[in-house]
Amino acid sequence: MKKLWNKDFVLLLQGNAVSTLGDVIYSVAIGFWVYQTTGSSALMGIMSSISMFITMFFSPFCGSIVDKSNRKWLIVTIDVVQGVVMLTVGVLAYMNALNIPVVLIAALLAAFGSVFYSPAISTIMLDIIPRDDMVRGQSIHSGIGSFINLIGSAFGGAMVAFLGAPLVVIINGFSNLYSAFTELFVRIPKTVKQGEAVTVKGLLGDLQSAIKIIFSDKCLKIFVPSALILNLLAAGPLTLTLPFCMEKGFSVDAYGYLVSIFSAAYVVGALALGAVKLKPKTRFWVMSLGFSLSVPCFIGIYFSNSFLPMSIFAFAAGLLNIAGNSVFNAAMMLALPEENRSAILGFISSASVGGTALSALIYGFLGEFFPLYIIFAIGNAISLVPMLYLCFHPETKRFVLEHCE
């Protein structure tokens, strides 16, 4: 029987861990630099929404290309290109030539890489994790990513203060190159469609097939529009955490610690789910209560004026949110047909990220006129309605019980 902790799983985990660490530290550095330089929450919203809009418009087609590609060389190439881009940005920063247009171009290039990289990694994980260990495997993968976010966010602000933005960006570039090197040794199975020609007609046909599969499933056709609405209402505040913290009077270090606490909760929740096997009915309740109860915890974050209660709410929100995501994502991955996995994931990602991108822009511009904590709290409060509808719909329960064995 195939073991969860096989060589390919471990190689992919550690490579992604190093790359993700560099990305997290870079995001802290570049986000602080942009906000400190411009003082604009609207520009922060634009920065956050670039990759989201790329994902929204291109994910369905890029997912189809991934299904037909050699996924190993695809992820290696993307990491190499990303590393070169980051090293270039770092050199420009050392030359004091870094400016907003350069940062936006780098974000655009990174976004195009990510829109191919994400569905490739998701489907590779599905192929190298044993099916009966999918919840554990996905939870461990998510938990390690959250742990890296914990470390990166906690020390990102300090690293910027002591090392400076140029060196932080260069570190990110080398982390991508290291990830590319380790990925060379991962054995990645061929996809059913690998080697097929990529044509416009084929891409449109795959998109049509993905949409048909999604809307023929009674749960997925509820989930996709619900995800769009939920992200529109509640995801934007997460992309604007830095200006929110600074508006509250906290330093960039406090922002890093707050994000780290949220990430720590993700680590605890993900690894706890990865350590034990729950019964299907228990998983359903873990998912439903996790998603639903996380909303009032987020509202608690926004109304807190001191760091301690804000941290407590952040930990609770992260713990509950990862519980819901781990169960539902595992069920969804097992439900996808092998020949169209990436295309379907691309379409779902497009719907979800589309709501997040619009949310980042809307909250960013509203933040120019109203206190961020008020509009964040109102948006999350409204999101509780579609959240409860999705979590406790009979078809959602059927979906989880049927596919999350």
Q: Which of 42-46, 113-117, 133-137, 351-355 has the highest mean pLDDT?
A: 113-117
The per-residue pLDDT for 157 is 67
The per-residue pLDDT for 403 is 61
Nearest to 211 by CA among 198, 202, 200, 220: 220
Compare 153 and 208 and report the one with higher pLDDT. 208
Number of separate domains in the chain: 1
DSSP string, 47-98: HHHHHHHHHHHHHHHHHHHHHHS-HHHHHHHHHHHHHHHHHHHHHHHHTT--
> In this model, does residue 204 exceed pLDDT 50?
yes
CATH number at residue 109: 1.20.1250.20
Half-sphere exposure of 111 (CA within 13 A, CB side): 21
Tens of pLDDT, residue by residue over 142-168, are: 667 666 766 666 666 677 767 777 788
Half-sphere exposure of 14 (CA within 13 A, CB side): 12
The per-residue pLDDT for 149 is 64
Flag whether 313 is in a domain.
yes
State the average pLDDT for the chain.
Answer: 77
- pTM value? 0.63
Flag whether 2 is in a domain.
no
Flag whether 240 is in a domain.
yes
Segments forming the whole domain that contains residue 56: 7-403
Tokens of 94: 């050392």
Q: How many percent of the chain have pLDDT more than 90?
A: 1
The per-residue pLDDT for 153 is 61
Compare 206 and 74 and report the one with higher pLDDT. 74
Flag whether 1 is in a domain.
no
Compare 174 and 143 and report the one with higher pLDDT. 174
Tens of pLDDT, residue by residue over 13-37, are: 777 777 777 777 777 777 666 666 6
The per-residue pLDDT for 1 is 46
Average pLDDT over every residue of 372-383:
86
State how far the Cα of 90 lies from the Cα of 309, in Å rounded to an integer.
37
Average pLDDT over every residue of 281-305:
84
The per-residue pLDDT for 337 is 67
> In this model, does residue 139 exceed pLDDT 70?
no
Half-sphere exposure of 331 (CA within 13 A, CB side): 26
Nearest to 287 by CA among 392, 130, 139: 392
Tens of pLDDT, residue by residue over 38-52, are: 666 566 667 666 766
Compare 99 and 280 and report the one with higher pLDDT. 99
Amino acid at 261: I
Tens of pLDDT, residue by residue over 338-373, are: 666 666 777 777 777 777 777 877 887 887 788 888
State how far the Cα of 79 lies from the Cα of 178, in Å rounded to an integer.
9
Flag whether 72 is in a domain.
yes
Distances in whole angstroms, Cα of residue 236 to Cα of each of 41, 167, 262, 358, 359: 12, 29, 16, 8, 4
Compare 112 and 346 and report the one with higher pLDDT. 112
The per-residue pLDDT for 80 is 92
Alpha-helical (H) ranges within 164-217 are 165-183, 200-216
